[in-house]
Amino acid sequence: MPGSKPPLLYEWQGILPPRGRCWRITRERGEEMEADGRVIWPKRSRLPRMKRYLADLPDHRNDDVLDASGAATKIQLVLRKALRAIASEIARTPRALGAVEWRDLERVLREVFESIGFDTRLTRPGRDGGFDLEVSCFEEGRKEVYLVEVKHWKPPSRPGMAIVSRFTEVVIAERADRGLLLSSSGFTREVIRGRSEVEQQLVRIGSDSKIVTLCQLYVRNGRGAWLSTSALPEILFHGTI
């Protein structure tokens, strides 16, 4: 079930996950993968690596390019490889965020959120209805839905209260649990100081540092065999205001 965090704390080859982490897979699944030659234990690292094959990649039902001939699958793989490279570069060099086009950043964040464990839906340009991404997960048996709006403006342009208020109205209209407004250029002082209590409860805001942190989490998850034990909503809104 998406968003669930089963207790996957056990010794694997004499190694326990770091504090606050758990293995991605069960002990039984790990033994099966080792027997199948799909687990690598680097000599200079205590972190096992898992081989991934094309058949393991998730199906993106909402990709912009769809083709019954099978060419779409190849295009998706190329796009995902590029998105992974962009996320990795942002994680390694935060200033690279400024060189990313706005639509590409939305796709990168979808890749990031899916890697973390969310089910995601990316809206189409011009038809977003006031938000760019819908992310959802199950927490304690209940599906929780969050809307994400991304503002990737060139400094010194920054979103003001009108943007925040409009997005709050969208979150209410869509009956989402909460909203996350991300701005790579930050927000005006008016936003930082003047949001109402209702807006603060329904919409959290995050700047470029939040985007970088998400990309860094994505890279850490992709390199290892363990995941954060934090609840998905906690990860989504950590470091926001």
Q: How sure is the predictor about 220, in pLDDT bands with cuts at 50, 70 and 90? A: confident
Domain presence at residue 20: no
- Please report the pLDDT score of residue 173 as a whole number: 94
Domain presence at residue 179: yes
Q: How sure is the predictor about 46, in pLDDT bands with cuts at 50, 70 and 90? A: low
Q: For residue 227, is pLDDT > 60?
A: no
Mean pLDDT value of segment 189-195: 86
- Please report the pLDDT score of residue 2 as a whole number: 47
Domain presence at residue 114: yes
- CATH number for the domain including 123? 3.40.1350.10
User: Position 166: which residue type?
Assistant: R
Percent of the chain with pLDDT over 70: 76
Mean pLDDT value of segment 193-221: 89
For residue 138, what are the β-bridge partners?
A: 143
Q: For residue 86, is pLDDT > 70?
A: yes
Q: For residue 121, is pLDDT > 50?
A: yes
- Please report the pLDDT score of residue 9 as a whole number: 79
Domain presence at residue 42: no
- Please report the pLDDT score of residue 164 as a whole number: 94
- Please report the pLDDT score of residue 163 as a whole number: 93
Domain presence at residue 45: no
Segment 122-164, tens digit of pLDDT? 887 655 578 999 999 988 788 999 999 999 998 899 999 999 9
By residue range, what is the domain housing residue 128?
53-218+230-237
- Please report the pLDDT score of residue 194 as a whole number: 79
Cα–Cα separations (whole angstroms), residue 109 to 15, 80, 145, 157, 216: 32, 12, 16, 21, 12
* 9 vs 38 pLDDT, higher one: 9
Domain presence at residue 47: no
Domain presence at residue 214: yes
Q: For residue 189, is pLDDT > 50?
A: yes
Segment 57-84, tens digit of pLDDT? 444 444 444 444 566 567 777 888 888 8
Cα–Cα separations (whole angstroms), residue 120 to 33, 62, 112, 181: 28, 9, 10, 16
Q: Looking at the 3D structure of the chain, how many domains does it have?
A: 1
- Please report the pLDDT score of residue 161 as a whole number: 92
Residue 31: what are its φ and ψ, rounded to 5°? -65, -40
Q: Is 161 helix (H, G, I), strand (E, B) or coil?
A: helix
**Alpha helices, H only, the chain:** 27-35, 71-92, 102-116, 161-173, 189-194, 197-202, 208-223, 232-237
* 6 vs 14 pLDDT, higher one: 14
Average pLDDT of the chain?
Answer: 80
Domain presence at residue 62: yes
Going by their DSSP bridges, the two strands 226-228 and 21-23 should be labelled as antiparallel
